[in-house]
A and B are shown apart, each in its own frame.
Chain A
Amino acid sequence: MITELGHFALVLAFLVAIVQAVVPLIGAHKRWPGWMSVAEPAANAQFLLTAFSFAALTYAFVTSDFSVRLVTLNSHSLKPMIYKISGVWGNHEGSMLLWVLILTLFGAMAAWFGGNLPPTLKARVLAVQSAISVAFFAFILFTSNPFLRLAVPPFDGQDLNPLLQDPGLAFHPPFLYLGYVGLSMAFSFAVAALIEGRVDAAWGRWVRPWTLAAWVFLTIGIGLGSWWAYYELGWGGFWFWDPVENASLMPWLIAAALLHSAIVVEKREALKSWTILLAIMAFGFSLIGTFIVRSGVITSVHAFANDPERGVFILLILGVFMGGALILYAARAQAMEAKGVFGMVSRESALVFNNILLAVSAFVVFVGTIWPLVAELAFARKLSVGAPFFNMAFTPFFVILGAILPVGAMMPWKRGSLARAFRPLRGAFVLALALAALAFALQTGRSALGPVGLFLGAWLVFGAAVDIWSRTGRGAIGERLRRLVRLPGADWGKAVAHAGLGVTMFGIAGLMAWEAEDIRVVQKGESFDIAGYTLTLQEVERVQGPNYISTMGTVQVARGTRVISTLHPEKRSYPVAQMPTTEAAIDNGFLRDVYVVIGDPQDNGGWAVRTYYKPLANWIWGGAILMALGGCLSLGDRRYRVAAGARRMRGAAGVPAE
């Protein structure tokens, strides 16, 4: 019964979305307030109906209602509750329902917080947003309906893929989708502005919080996914350049470019048409990502769906929205006259180069991802593009980006000088260089990657510190410290996010350059050494889990005679899903991880054991957390709340002019 109500609510939401996509658009064109005001209640209704529909599906999963086809295919009565819930989006149909739920949530949020928007712009934004919903509601209802029943319900379900039964992956898709779909707001604002024919500083200010929020969610989502891959897939890789990962990296890169170029629109009224184009492309890459994941056209580790019908449908959605938006862009972009005048060396031009590097690196990822397809279709060559290519073709752009970032961040608006921007950074530069030289001297005959990454990381972190300190002006240290605390959120956000990028680069370089690995057969009670640690395999036993059987080892990690920790690497076997998984045991540390994996028993007794010493591993995700935190700090800046329609205007005098 509840399942049917959920299905019905989804159909109703589809109808409401159609109304919301058409009526306010006509209203805005004809300046009819009555028609325009349809948008707001419609957005609310659409969200509530979709939320109800999602709740109904969740209910079916939680109560293990195996008469619903989707529940049978992806759940099991013995599964822990958290994975029954995460099972809702651990499959194609449910994840698309989550996708539209978030889409309608953003639409409703635009209605709630859009009080300050001009009425025509608001109506158009909501209409465009709803047009996207229409497409995805149709996609769900016609090709991937989660509410289908089974005529003969089985006694129990077929269980969720055991790899997905993990806390890291339970929350990875929702964050990723919040990011992907959050970019739909930037798209809607861009298309609405094109219809309106007007982009000004206010537009830049409205669109930036949405982009920032989407980017923060994408950062967290990508970070969670990478962390999951690190501890779950059993060899401690954190990024595989898998098409599905690339699908999330491309929108992240474009969103990062967009939120920087929107600053130029906001502060200087320049780069308008480029920013609009980025906003369109950011969502375009989200759709391409959805297409790659959902169609399985480029087979990859994560693709669960392998249905050409769905792929064609998403391609159609992509074609209609991108084609429509780009045609509109071609027709209207000329109207966007830039106002700000600035020199070749200025904050504006630094942001232009930031945008070029981010956009080109996204382009490289894109070309690499689709090249196997292109080569096969156009040149009849069957080939692979994998990690070695991306490491080589992508990394240089980020090295350049990291090298120029601190200088660009210190550059004044309008007109600056390289020498003057660099002067306060001399200390940071020398210190970073010294650290790199030290690392280079200590390591003998290993790759230069470590020292280079160390330099970039330190340069970014110190540069961010200099940047925020320079914002406190002149005067006594005490006075400057007081001012430091009171600096606007955007300043802190900028410094923290830039430092986070440095920390991540540092972690990646350290891990790739100084990792150690050991593979061997170990008898019970035997010890072995790796990178200064002594590991002892003490015990191997069988353990019964809730829905799996585990072979669990007990490994003691010691440094000299001091015992540091006892690790329990596992090999699990899920009888229902008939699949083994490896649960690596990791001793997390600030400067290094010790990572132990237990393998198969050997013929001559003993067990295969793989051990890794992974320096700086946690810095990769620490940096991602800092980047997300920086985004949040910036989002908390009072100036956005003023722009978003907050009541308070007092205290605006304390905001420094930029």
Chain B
Amino acid sequence: MKHLLLALMLAVLPLSPALAVQPDEVLDDPVLEERARELSRGLRCLVCRNESIDDSNATLARDLRLLVRERLVAGDSDDEVIDYVVDRYGEYVLLQPRATGANWLLWAAGPIMLILGAGIAIVYLRRREAAPEPVETAALSDEEKARLNDILDK
């Protein structure tokens, strides 16, 4: 049912670019507002496709933006706000997944590959360095000689 609802919402809410953050949402305190924007960029608009609530103009994104600001005004720290939102909407809402459980694989994938690649490359380069210089180049076959003459004649 939830999926059906989501699909329906996706159907009626196409990516409609317009204003995301409305003027009436902006907090008076510029420091708090800056923090709100920063947090909004890391939170996903649940009914959109790969948009943060900062970029989206969906109603739900607006509600979330207001919620974030409400928590900030109430005196929550950034982490507390994020925890609050994640408690309510699940980790799906985070655009930057936390490195917990199997997710460490996602975060470590790049560095591990880099170390692996560099290791293999160094072994390979060592071997190329130690390899004997090929002394003779194989003589051209008759076919290749004919081809060479053919090209040079042109």
Contact = CB atoms under 8 A, between A and B. Distances in A.
B18 A599 contact: yes
A582 B128 contact: no
26 contacts: A163-B17, A235-B17, A240-B51, A241-B50, A243-B50, A338-B128, A339-B134, A348-B128, A360-B113, A363-B110, A371-B97, A379-B101, A379-B102, A381-B102, A383-B97, A384-B44, A385-B95, A389-B106, A397-B110, A519-B26, A582-B17, A600-B18, A600-B19, A608-B19, A648-B154, A649-B152
Contact of B114 (A232, A270, A397, A599): A397
B139 interface: no
A35 interface: no
Contact of B129 (A234, A343, A519, A610): A343
B102 A378 contact: yes
A301 interface: yes
A385 B102 CA distance: 14
A392 B96 contact: yes
A387 B95 contact: yes
A81 interface: no
Nearest to B144: A118
Interface string A356-393: 11011101100110010001001101111111110011
Contacts of A340: 128
Nearest to B127: A338
A360 B111 CA distance: 8
B154 A647 contact: yes
Interface size bucket, B side?
35 or more
Contact of A393 (B50, B55, B90, B107): B107
B107 to A, nearest CB: 7
A599 B20 CA distance: 9
Contacts of B102: 375, 378-379, 381
A610 B20 CA distance: 9
Q: Which 10 A-B pairs have the closest CB atoms?
A: A386-B95, A599-B19, A388-B96, A234-B17, A356-B117, A364-B110, A367-B109, A521-B23, A582-B17, A233-B17
Interface string A292-323: 00000001110100000000000000000000
A192 interface: no
A384 B97 contact: yes
B66 to A, nearest CB: 15
A339 B131 CA distance: 9
A581 interface: yes
B49 interface: yes
Contacts of B151: 116, 649
B94 interface: yes
Q: Chain A at the B interface: mostly helix, strand, loop or mixed? A: mixed
Contacts of B97: 371, 375, 383-385, 389
B131 A341 contact: yes
Nearest to B93: A384
Given A356-B118, A571-B18, A608-B19, A381 B91 contact: yes
Nearest to A340: B128
A357 B102 CA distance: 25
A399 interface: no
Contacts of B16: 579-581
B41 interface: yes
Contact of B44 (A237, A243, A386): A386
Contact of B128 (A342, A368, A386): A342
A300 B132 contact: no
Interface residues of A, number: 71
A271 to B, nearest CB: 9
Contacts of B23: 519-521, 602, 608
A469 interface: no
A367 B128 contact: no
Contacts of B20: 235
Given A232-B17, A300-B50, A384 B94 contact: yes
B59 interface: no
Given A381-B101, A519-B21, A608-B23, 17 more contacts: A237-B55, A242-B50, A243-B50, A338-B131, A341-B128, A360-B113, A363-B110, A375-B97, A375-B102, A375-B103, A379-B101, A381-B103, A383-B103, A386-B50, A521-B23, A521-B24, A647-B154
B15 interface: yes
Nearest to B98: A383
Contacts of A396: 110
A352 interface: yes
Interface string A29-41: 0000000000000
Residue among A343, A356, A379 having the largest count of chain B Cβ atoms under 10 Å: A356
Interface in B80-134: 90-97, 101-103, 106-107, 109-110, 113-114, 117-118, 121-122, 124-126, 128-129, 131-134
Given A341-B132, A386-B52, A610 B110 contact: no
Contacts of A341: 128-129, 131-134
Interface in A157-183: 163
B42 A368 contact: no
Contacts of B134: 339, 341
Contacts of A580: 16, 18
Interface string B130-151: 0111100000000000000001
